[in-house]
Amino acid sequence: MKHVLLFAVLAVLVLEIHGNDLGVEFGCPEKAQPPGEVGCMYFCRDKTDTKWVAGIYRNGSPCEYSDDAEGACQDGLCHYKGPKSGTKRQPATRRPPSRTTPRGTDEDEWEDK
């Protein structure tokens, strides 16, 4: 599932940045997101059934921003909304510098938990 999600995110980024350069067309009708779908875009055949074109789900549709964050679709992209229900982000904690850090430097190490 992570690979599929990563591919979908990368595809959206490539389409957003280079869509016109790559000849990608957005021709599918905007539609409601099917149950269980976690992305903001889909693909369909054009009217002549000769090529694939992109479409987007309605703005505000829920999407999976990351494994632990929810998002909302906006113009085909998933925008961060907040942590998923039941997940609690732990604050970063400071730990002592490693022994290999030269004395007199201001390098502190941070760790996310």
CA 57 – CA 30 distance, rounded (Å): 6
Beta bridge partners of 45: 52
**Side chain identity, residue 9:** V
Percent with pLDDT over 70 in the chain: 55
Which pLDDT value is given to residue 28? 93
pLDDT in tens, 11-50: 555 555 444 555 658 899 989 999 999 999 999 998 888 8
**How much is the pTM?**
0.54
Give how far Cα 4 sits from Cα of 1, 21, 95, 113, Å. Answer: 5, 24, 36, 26
Pick the more confident residue, 100 or 54. 54
Q: What are phi and psi of 101, to 5 degrees?
A: -75, 125
Assign 67 a pLDDT band (cuts: 50, 70, 90): very high
